[in-house]
Chain A
């Protein structure tokens, strides 16, 4: 695993990150990893105690993790949401829009380049979970 890019003020948890099945079987774990084929909604009953959810991207072209992230944020998850694996610089802005606030790319990405990539879009067309006001809202005073 490469260097961690993290955009949060709190300290990262040092707790072990469990696979989903192990996490669901444990009572008190606070960190979990979900794979592309796993249902993020299985975590909904436990969101309150989770500090870190890793969303795994075994291949950049498999976009299921974007939906997983957005669903978790839509359901109120406020802990760290970390994209891991085949995470490329040109994907950071979309991932951020879907609620990721940390990245552990398999191949390291320089922090300044990452910051620039995340800021690619001056405006956005969709309302997502990143709190940005979409163009359609700005057009009408939002």
Chain B
């Protein structure tokens, strides 16, 4: 894992002091809320329906046991004993007091963490593959590149007042576990014919009210020009992105309106200029960063055998673990989606326990997934049963990864001032309706995503089944869509037809899954069946 040096620490400490001064000016009345707003947003502090919400950055979703434990302590000390893991691999706290925030940031700084640029119209936290460094299918570890981008984007003086927020994801395998093409910039690390590593840039993806899948803008940017190319992409956007309408201000609209070819031409022109300026950190700096991401001390010669005699354990093993590149190890996903629970929520005790388990069983590393679960990336197969027992006692052993109850949901109208409808109660209702695990396993991989408004924080466009909450004449109404995907076969969902009440949408969901069960061919997931047979049979069952 990356570790701060005195420079990184000085930057974060300076930010804490700056924000402490700004909060003091707000509390004394020197700053009005209007003047304070852009300053608090640079530090991840939102004013929600009932309280302030603080969003803490977890760069590329990677953290140590110690960092995780501190996140649990913050939940106890400053919140109501809970933290909420988000779809951008971050954590947010929903019940924060303004005058506590400088102290929270100071606590975070003691473990090399911060809330910098987790909101506002700037470059947000860089996200990545939650299996990075463990996945059997990756070309290289994408995180050194993400860390390079993190440093470049931190307090970037030119790009702090962009037309709109800006999200970057970096992956390095053909299996996309980070919804890469649904980001403002998606980068896939690839090798060229000479075997050199470089970055393929996708620009102009996003969800929100106008979902778009990012086109390739450049097939191969040499690794040592990646920062310069990103700088060019951002500069063109900062200068020419729309500022007349916040709903048309994301880079996807610029790329769409002028076309990928014209955007590429402008970027290439700017890139040629920027290359003359020598802005790129040298190879030695990349090597310094990459050394932190060298394989942790894996043991060799371990057995791959796992005792499956406990049937409940065997179900969890099959559902919630993934292949590791090192023999004798597995990747474990801890589901934060228990039946009837709030997707992505964990109690302070659970967060601390996960930190402890990460230290004890995963070489002191944890990851946050964009699907709001937690990963222990490096677990010895010999430890899996013990680990599972400890998770089970803490209510953290739901064996439902990628099943219908592994729901992504935004905070919705229970917390968010932008929402039109509640997401959490609906997610809870669905997970209760489908609580029978045999039934869930029979339905197989089914990615269900719920957003409480058109901003699509719950990624509904990319759900095999997506649900969008809207306000219809003062009552909450839910639109259903099928066929989205955030994986390598990225696609956007299509709305089934008229919306439903909260109970109505759960009924419709059940009818749709019945159609799938009747119509599926051998080995087909819900998404595959939908793609093969189309919307009509589903529509007939739901509305007929």
Contact = CB atoms under 8 A, between A and B. Distances in A.
B144 to A, nearest CB: 13
Contacts of B278: 127
B160 A63 contact: yes
Contact of B160 (A66, A120, A139, A140): A66
A127 B162 CA distance: 19
14 contacts: A60-B161, A62-B161, A63-B159, A66-B157, A66-B158, A66-B159, A88-B35, A94-B155, A94-B158, A95-B157, A127-B279, A136-B282, A138-B7, A139-B5
B277 A74 contact: yes
Contacts of B155: 94, 121, 124-125
A72 interface: no
B81 to A, nearest CB: 34
A122 B158 CA distance: 18
A126 B277 CA distance: 12
Contacts, number: 90
A90 B157 contact: no
A98 interface: yes
Interface residues of A, number: 33
B38 A60 contact: yes
A67 B235 contact: yes
Given A62-B161, A74-B273, A125-B11, A120 B18 contact: yes
Interface in B1-43: 5, 7-8, 10-11, 14, 18, 22, 35, 38-39
A55 B399 CA distance: 58
B473 interface: no
A121 B283 CA distance: 25
Contacts of B18: 120
A126 B5 contact: no
B281 interface: yes
A42 to B, nearest CB: 13
Contacts of A91: 160
A92 B8 CA distance: 22
A61 interface: yes
B80 interface: no
A90 B277 CA distance: 27
B277 A127 contact: yes
Contacts of A19: none
A62 B278 CA distance: 27
Contacts of A62: 161, 243
A139 B39 contact: no
A63 B11 contact: no
Given A121-B155, A127-B279, A64 B238 contact: yes
Q: Which of A36, A95, A136 has the most CB of B within 10 A?
A: A136
A77 to B, nearest CB: 14
Interface string B232-249: 000100110001000000
Interface string A35-64: 010000000000000000000000011111
Contact of B11 (A123, A138, A139): A123
B472 interface: no
Contacts of B38: 60-61, 90
Given A98-B158, A136-B281, A136-B282, A122 B238 contact: no
B174 interface: no
B152 interface: yes
Nearest to A117: B18
Contacts of A66: 157-161, 238
Interface in A107-127: 120-127
Contacts of A93: 157
Contact of B157 (A61, A64, A128, A139): A128
